[in-house]
Amino acid sequence: MLKEIELRASYLKDKKVESIYFGGGTPSILKASEIDRLIGQVAKYFEISLDAEITLEANPDDLDKKKVQELRNTEINRFSIGIQSFYEEDLKWMNRAHNAEEAKSSIMRVQDAGFENITCDLIYGFPLLTDNKWKNNMQQLIDLDIPHISSYSMTVEKKTALAHMINKGKTPALNEEQSAEQMLLLIDTLTNAGYEHYEISNFAKPDKYARHNSNYWKSKSYLGIGPSAHSFNGTSRSWNIANNALYIKGIQTSELPLETEQLSTNDRFNEYVMTSLRTKWGIDQKYVQKEFGDDYLNSILKNIEEYVYNKEVNISEEGIITLSPSGKLLADQIAAELFIVE
C-alpha cells in the first residue's frame, strides 16, 4: 500500500487531501505505527489540509483501552464504530465478533480518551428487531451524544450464511414492510433528537457531516489504495484487483493492478443523479443545464412529474430537486427512472 501511494502520486494532482479514510475490511487491526507510516506516505506525495478529517473504521472488540490510547498518538481524529445493535441476541444472529457490553464500552473508551468526532453504524429491518428494540438502539446513541449516525437496512447477499439459513427455513426472510416502517421511525426519532438527515443513510448534528462521505456524494475526486479499492477523478473510474496475491505481485513490479473505465456523458449524468438525489443538497437544475445541457434537464423534469404529483419529490423555488420522507423509501427507484440509458 505504501508503494501504491508512491505509484499513484499524480492521481490527485493539484488537489488538497481533505479526508483520509481507513476502511474496507478491519483496519483497526493495524498497529498505530502502521497507521503513522501510511499517513506519512500520503503526506510525502500529497498536500494534506491542516484540518483534514482522518477516520478509522473499527470493530468494538478491537477498541480495548490499550488500543485506544495507542491511537491517541496517531493523526486519527474520527472513529467509525460498527455497533449494529446493543442487543446480544441480535449480534449473535448477525454473527458479529463483539457482544452487547463491548458495543457500549468501546464508545465510552473512545470518548474517555478525548475523541469527540465519532460515527456509529446501526442496522434495521431484520426479523429479531422489534420496533421497541429499534427505538432503544437509537436512544442509546442519542444518550451517548454521538454526533453522527449511519443506519442501513439489512440486506441478504448470495452465498452467505444468512442466505443459506433463509433458504433452509431456519430463519425468517427479511420483510420489506418492516424495513420501510423502521426507516421512517429512524428518520422521525433522529430528526426529533436534533440530527439532520443529510443523506439517505446518514444523520448528523449541526456541522458534524462526514466530510469523506459528503465529498463522495458531491462527486469530488478520490483515490483508493489497496485490493478492491475504487478511485474516481471526475472523468474516469478505476478499481484495483480483489485478489491479494495478484495485487501484491502487480505493485512489486510497478504495474498498477487495476482496471479503468472512461465515463461517458450519460455515465457522469447518471452518477450525478444517483449521488445527489440521496442528499439534502439534491439535484441542482442549473448545474444539470450547465454541465449536461437542456436535453438532460428536460428528461429529468419529464420523468419526475409523477413523483412530484405524489409528493415523493419536492422542487424548491431555486430549482433544487429533493426527496420527501416518503420519497426516500423509493430513492433507488426514482433515481433509476431519471437515468439516461444508452
Q: Which CATH architecture has domain 265-338?
A: Orthogonal Bundle (1.10)
Using DSSP's 3-state secondary structure scheme, residue 94 falls into: coil
Q: Which residues lie below 8 Å from residue 117, measured CB to CB, with a gap of 6+? A: 53, 77, 78, 79, 147, 148, 208
Residue ranges covered by each domain of the chain: 2-216, 226-262, 265-338
Predicted pLDDT at 157: 79
Q: How far apart are CA 263 and CA 237, in angstroms?
A: 7
Predicted pLDDT at 215: 87
Closest CA to 329 of 182, 110, 208: 182
| AA identity, residue 172 | P
Task: Encode 135-155: b = buried (16+ Cβ within 10 Å), e = exposed.
Answer: eebbebbeeeebbbbbbebbe
Domain 2-216 falls in which CATH fold? Transcription Regulator spoIIAA (3.30.750)
Q: Which residues lie below 8 Å from residue 25, measured CB to CB, with a gap of 6+? A: none
Q: Which residues lie below 8 Å from residue 191, measured CB to CB, with a gap of 6+? A: 197, 203
Predicted pLDDT at 15: 82
Predicted pLDDT at 247: 96
Predicted pLDDT at 276: 94
- List the chain pLDDT tens, one digit each, 342 residues: 999 999 999 998 888 999 999 997 789 889 999 999 999 999 999 999 999 999 999 999 999 999 999 999 999 999 999 999 999 999 998 888 899 999 999 999 999 999 999 999 999 999 999 999 999 999 999 999 999 999 999 987 777 777 777 787 878 878 889 999 999 999 999 999 999 999 999 999 999 999 988 888 888 899 999 999 999 998 899 999 999 999 999 999 999 999 999 999 999 999 999 999 999 999 999 999 999 999 999 999 999 999 999 999 999 999 999 999 999 999 999 999 999 987
2-216 and 265-338: same fold?
A: no
Antiparallel, parallel or unpaired: β 17-22 and 48-58 = parallel
With residue 202 as reference, give the H or E element that holds it: strand 202-204
Rounded to whole angstroms, what are the CA distances from 209 to 99, 197, 231, 263?
A: 28, 10, 22, 28
Q: How far apart are CA 194 and CA 207, in angstroms?
A: 12
What is the Cβ-side half-sphere exposure of residue 115, based on CA atoms within 13 angstroms? 30
